[in-house]
Structure 1
Amino acid sequence: MDEQMGKLRWRCRRGMKELDLLTLGYLEQYYPDAAAEDQQAFADLLELQDPLLMSYMVGRETPADAVTARVVGIMRTLVKYSA
């Protein structure tokens, strides 16, 4: 699992700091205990281009697949808004 986590951690490095924080946050907080289908959905999300992934994170678009939508929903809870 450590090698897989290392590969995923590398893939979490995006072109946008906000996406780095969301993807790494999910990987560290939720991925290890997630169901296998959620883990696969997360890995699939990491294959997307940054603009589409960001669209999911800000709610402009919603994944058609229910499992992917659930993972995106969890990732969106990691967004920290400051006043």
Structure 2
Amino acid sequence: MEVKKFYRTQREVASVVNEIIDDYWTDKLTDKELEGYITIIYENNLDKIIKNNEYTTIIKQQCGKNRLAVVSKIIGK
């Protein structure tokens, strides 16, 4: 899987996060790959993911609670 470091919109970030986590849930990615991809996306697109110490509305709507729970555990939030 090819993951870019920087994304233009919140919707693009949400879409990629969904794809990564779905691939992990279907055993296409290892734990280490999942953590690496999510960390890269989070660190380089923080302004599109977090506002006022919580996930942005678009990220919440597009990703859902289960996926964001995984992201939170990886980033240590």
Please give the TM-score of this superposition, normalised by the length of structure 1. 0.32
Bigger-Rg structure (1/2): 1
Greater strand percent: which structure? 2
Higher relative contact order (CA 8 A, sep 6+): 2
